[in-house]
Structure 1
Amino acid sequence: MPEAIRTGAAPSRRSRPRPSPPTADGVPAGIPAGAAGLGRRRLGVPALALMIIAASAPLTVVAGGVTSNYAVTGLLGIPLSFLVLGAVLMVFAVGYTAMSRWVSNAGAFYSYISLGLARWAGVGSAWVALVAYNAMQIGIYGMFGFVLSSFLAALGLTVPWWAAALAGWAVVGFLGINQVDLSAKVLGVVVALEFLIVLVYDVVALGAAPEGLSAASLEPSALFSAGVGAALVFSIAAFMGCESGAIYNEEVKDPRTTARRATLVAIVVIALFYAFSAWAMAVGEGDSAVVARSAELGPDLMFVFLEGRVAGWFIVLGNLLFMTSVLAALIAFHNVIARYLFSMGREGVLPPVLARTNRVHAPVAGSLVQSAVALAVIVVFAVAGAGHELGALFPVLTLFTWLTNMGALGLVALMMLTSFAVVGFFRRHAHTEGAWTALLAPLLAGAAMVVLLVMILANFGVLIGAEGGVLSWLLPALVLAAGVLGSLWAIALRRRRPDVYSRIGAGAAR
């Protein structure tokens, strides 16, 4: 990374920043002893784009997220919501991915906010990121446990949701301590099959079209009315993971282009694919019936629709891929968390042992810590759910719903701060970016994220099914508390260990 950025000096606007040389093991001078590097030059644009898309779980979003959005908001314009949010995230990606060309760090938000706003703010944001990503990842175990348990029950096997969740936990943990390209290969196969299932559904739905090929669901009036806030909040969850491209910037083939291209590709694919599939669902059920049918059938709507229209084995395959879709999201978020812990351990902000990697350069310490945290939370919810009145839906309506919405709140807050951090970074350091990239796009994205954050907070009780309850303010408060505690920890480091504080956000050398 540029020497001026690493040292904290402010170069002249006309000076060209020069890379700082790495040490023999690829770690910059000044990084705490015991740190190691991640695997280098393994990921290309296709592999990284697949990992980003996998985090959004395409089949899960279409079968579960889109139907839930129709049912809860009662709005027909759900397809348009994906296009609107895709445009917002494309603007966000302009500055965010431009910064990835100048800063290479596995803790992207953490590093960017540290270098663009303040080091104490960066550490606070890192703690928010750890809470948000862990909440997102661990919450998804609730959905995975429910889906796998239900599938086995259809085969005559009674397996509690928590045992099914632990099976997924073991797979995720194993892949987390292996080479990142192994995870990419597994995710690539899963995502390709998910797209196939959804595309077949889309084609069949458009062929059915009981009310004709209507474009009413794409009209602005179908979205921008009462309930638009909740609709956008539901849909933003489908894009969670789009920000993770820069996190792998130390492991890509070309740090200056791979993350940028993969992120832009992923955002475009996700926005267009989900918009098209949500439109196909409206056409397949009929504009006048899709909201009621979604409320009646929920995630089963897609598979009920396909019954009698495709071969039985295809529906079974679809159900299997529904499970692997959730598993793919678990793997993607696990990898992100492990790299955040690695980055913070490498810089001494957290115990240096977290920067340990294994012989294949996987962040093994961070991976094991994340697995341990996930195991503890699964056990707590398994005990709490024993004999609960919600029955089989307990892990979905509690663990999944509570934690994933909490995670989405934290990640939108981080994207908001990062947008403003991009402006601060390019104002402080010499660069070759234009005004659109370094100033205008980040400011627009930051303003849009502020609006989204307010919408999430205003609708949080509705999202978790506890409107007016304690959880409607407690869960957001936990995210805020993580940021405050992290910032206070950084301020303490500034007084007690100024050498560590000065390196916050430095990351790896180019």
Structure 2
Amino acid sequence: MSQTQAAPREEAPARGLTGSLGATAIVFMVVAAASPLTVVGGATPLGILIGNGVGFPSLYAVAAVVLLLFAVGLATMARHVPRPGAFFTYVGYGFGRGAGLAAAWIAMLTYTVVQLAVYGYLGYILSVTVAGVGGPSLAWWLYALAVVAIVGILGYRHIDLSSKVLGVLLVAEVAIVLVLVAAVTFSGGAEGLSAAPFLPENIVSGSPGVGLTFAIAAFIGFEATAIFRDEARDPDRTIPRATYTAVVGIGVFYTLASWAMVMAWGPNGVMDAASQDPGTLLLRTVARYLGTVGEVTINVLLITSLFACVLSFHNVITRYQHSMANAGVLPARLATVHAAHRSPHAASIVQTVTAAVLLAAFALLQLDPVLQVFTWFSGVATLSVVLLMAVASGAVIAYFLRTRKDRRLWHTLVAPALGLLGLVGIGILIVAYYPMLVGDVDAEGNPVFGTVSWILIALIVAFPVGGAVQAAWIRARRPAAYAKLTDAIAS
């Protein structure tokens, strides 16, 4: 039978996603994107070393409080806007279609670059690990491309499969970290247990702006719970419950884990331990408190943690593409749903190809997978998502002030406003210290905006500007398509 004859059976005529995901499954999907073990082993040592030192654990708590305030408005919006577009849709409802499309492109940038960052780190870890056990010494990007293919296969199939894979890996990651926390706690640590990380003088020491960058980056993905609305069992209850559970769970877990890291070496010794090699601080801590078996286990779970992260972001990106295609701003082909798997398979294929092409470009440019691919694009993702959440908070306030559909002041005004103020403050600190993330510093080590910093920030500006231009073009040339962008009151 020809491909033309077989094609109609490949895709379902309906464009809606379906599923029966509960709050737990959705939490697994979005928390896995935070890659718990990667954060504990990568972001935490760097936050201690080049952030605010002993006080870094407190910044996870600060970030959690701000993002919980933001989540109140996000969850309230999810009840009144029965669409899965999340930021794309919510900003459109609050500020109009043009702003919504600009937000959609910021979101696409955020999740795409953070996925690329993790692909680079995962490729590096795999290359070192395989070579270390006597395997072939291959370039990092070959391993990264192999993982892209595996993720593409899982993303093509029904999301229930991805959620089960992510659930197993996430439980294993969290379990090993909690075992480490227990070992440090029961042993009393290196200098005795204390609340030193939460003392005001330690919180504001060093470079808290850099520390906040790493802390906020650890939460990227939690806000994507609304993306899975069409695949949730009872979206009006499941999505808010999953959102609150995700942000609280992430905040408590990272605060506890990073506190244990400081206690493991002591407030007076953790900086020296991190400066020796921040990349191996977690492994050395585990070897010290859990022995060789724990160290080997952590090595394996670090790889699966990174894999879970890219798989989760792949699912988020494909659903953004699916929502944007349904709104008429991306090719209609991306809105199709697989007849058997009920997945946005066309969007999944496009995302897989995009990741492969960009990684190949990084390889040709000979970028370092950790110091450049991972660090640079993690910084882009963090600043982008803070900007996106700040705009979304403002959109929540604008929407409910205009429509009066929900008169609960805390949910529609107070919490979103407090979240907005917190996000703006965090954004200012991140920008001020941004050059330090990419190595743009003067002879004294002070941050100075150089070529790399300006290029990456220009990228963050270009995407929303491009979205606004696209919205204006669609409004002028395709008014019917413009009307589909959101059901917002005309802007």
Q: Normalised by the size of structure 2, how large is the TM-score?
A: 0.92
Report the alpha carbon displacement of residue 483 of structure 1 after superposing the two structures with TM.
0.5
- Identify the match of residue 203 of structure 1 among 163, 182, 188: 182
Answer whether contact 2:261 2:285 (CA < 8 A) is retained: no
Distance between the aligned counterparts of 1:443 and 1:424, measured in 2?
Answer: 11
Matched, 1:124 2:105: no
Answer whether contact 2:400 2:406 (CA < 8 A) is retained: no
Matched, 1:213 2:193: yes
- Identify the match of residue 120 of structure 2 among 137, 142, 160: 142
Distance between the aligned counterparts of 2:401 and 2:332, measured in 1?
Answer: 32
Distance between the aligned counterparts of 2:487 and 2:34, measured in 1?
Answer: 29
Distance between the aligned counterparts of 1:433 and 1:154, measured in 2?
Answer: 60
Which stretch of structure 1 is more off in the superposition, 270-279 or 461-470?
A: 461-470
Distance between the aligned counterparts of 1:214 and 1:427, measured in 2?
Answer: 46
Q: Helix, strand or coil for the counterpart of 1:37?
A: coil
- Identify the match of residue 80 of structure 1 among 27, 37, 58: 58
**Which residue is equivalent to 2:90?**
112
Matched, 1:338 2:318: yes
**Counting helix residues as a fraction of each chain, which structure ranks higher?**
2
Answer whether contact 1:80 1:220 (CA < 8 A) is retained: no
Report the alpha carbon displacement of residue 264 of structure 1 after superposing the two structures with TM.
0.6
**Which residue is equivalent to 1:401?**
375
- Pairs within 5 Å for 1:351-390: 351-359=331-339, 360-385=341-366
Answer whether contact 1:70 1:295 (CA < 8 A) is retained: no
- Pairs within 5 Å for 1:480-491: 480-491=461-472
Answer whether contact 1:53 1:241 (CA < 8 A) is retained: yes
**Which residue is equivalent to 2:473?**
492
Report the alpha carbon displacement of residue 246 of structure 1 after superposing the two structures with TM.
0.8
Report the alpha carbon displacement of residue 95 of structure 1 after superposing the two structures with TM.
0.7
Q: Helix, strand or coil for the counterpart of 1:76?
A: helix
Report the alpha carbon displacement of residue 451 of structure 1 after superposing the two structures with TM.
1.2
Distance between the aligned counterparts of 2:349 and 2:261, measured in 1?
Answer: 40
Q: Helix, strand or coil for the counterpart of 1:250?
A: helix
Distance between the aligned counterparts of 2:486 and 2:308, measured in 1?
Answer: 29
Percent identical pairs in the alignment equals: 38
Q: Helix, strand or coil for the counterpart of 1:249?
A: helix
Q: Structure 2: which 5+ residue stretches go unaligned?
A: 1-11, 442-448
Report the alpha carbon displacement of residue 226 of structure 1 after superposing the two structures with TM.
4.4
Q: Which residue type is aligned with residue 378 of structure 1? A: L
- Identify the match of residue 398 of structure 2 among 424, 431, 436: 424
Distance between the aligned counterparts of 1:173 and 1:155, measured in 2?
Answer: 27
Report the alpha carbon displacement of residue 167 of structure 1 after superposing the two structures with TM.
1.9
- Identify the match of residue 286 of structure 2 among 294, 302, 306: 306
- Pairs within 5 Å for 1:275-354: 275-307=255-287, 309-354=289-334
- Identify the match of residue 415 of structure 1 among 365, 389, 392: 389
Distance between the aligned counterparts of 1:85 and 1:187, measured in 2?
Answer: 24
Q: Normalised by the size of structure 1, how large is the TM-score?
A: 0.89
Q: Which residue type is aligned with residue 194 of structure 1? A: E
Answer whether contact 2:52 2:211 (CA < 8 A) is retained: no
**Which residue is equivalent to 1:268?**
248
Report the alpha carbon displacement of residue 473 of structure 1 after superposing the two structures with TM.
1.4
**Which residue is equivalent to 1:436?**
410
Q: Which residue type is aligned with residue 214 of structure 2? A: F
Matched, 1:37 2:16: yes
Distance between the aligned counterparts of 1:180 and 1:496, measured in 2?
Answer: 36
Distance between the aligned counterparts of 1:60 and 1:446, measured in 2?
Answer: 28
Distance between the aligned counterparts of 1:361 and 1:431, measured in 2?
Answer: 33
Q: Which residue type is aligned with residue 417 of structure 1? A: V
Q: Helix, strand or coil for the counterpart of 2:277?
A: helix
Report the alpha carbon displacement of residue 396 of structure 1 after superposing the two structures with TM.
0.7
Q: Structure 1: which 5+ residue stretches go unaligned?
A: 1-32, 389-393
Report the alpha carbon displacement of residue 309 of structure 1 after superposing the two structures with TM.
4.1
Distance between the aligned counterparts of 1:111 and 1:74, measured in 2?
Answer: 37
Answer whether contact 1:218 1:279 (CA < 8 A) is retained: no
Answer whether contact 1:344 1:350 (CA < 8 A) is retained: yes
**Which residue is equivalent to 1:29?**
none
Answer whether contact 2:184 2:289 (CA < 8 A) is retained: no
Q: Which residue type is aligned with residue 39 of structure 2? A: V
Report the alpha carbon displacement of residue 73 of structure 1 after superposing the two structures with TM.
2.0
Q: Which residue type is aligned with residue 307 of structure 1? A: A
Answer whether contact 2:94 2:398 (CA < 8 A) is retained: yes
Answer whether contact 1:106 1:342 (CA < 8 A) is retained: no
State the aligned residue count: 467
Superposed CA RMSD in Å reads 1.6
Matched, 1:162 2:162: no
**Which residue is equivalent to 1:465?**
439
Q: Deviations over 1:121-153 (max 9, x none)?
A: 111111111112111111110000011111101
**Which residue is equivalent to 1:475?**
456
Distance 1:309 1:407, change over 3 A: closer
Report the alpha carbon displacement of residue 51 of structure 1 after superposing the two structures with TM.
1.1
Answer whether contact 1:112 1:418 (CA < 8 A) is retained: yes
Distance between the aligned counterparts of 1:148 and 1:458, measured in 2?
Answer: 34
Q: Which residue type is aligned with residue 181 of structure 2? A: D
Distance between the aligned counterparts of 1:124 and 1:93, measured in 2?
Answer: 21
Matched, 1:453 2:453: no
Q: Deviations over 1:199-231 (max 9, x none)?
A: 122122231512111111121221124412211
Q: Which residue type is aligned with residue 379 of structure 2? A: N
Distance between the aligned counterparts of 1:449 and 1:350, measured in 2?
Answer: 30
Which stretch of structure 1 is more off in the superposition, 133-142 or 199-208?
A: 199-208
Distance 1:364 1:100, change over 3 A: same
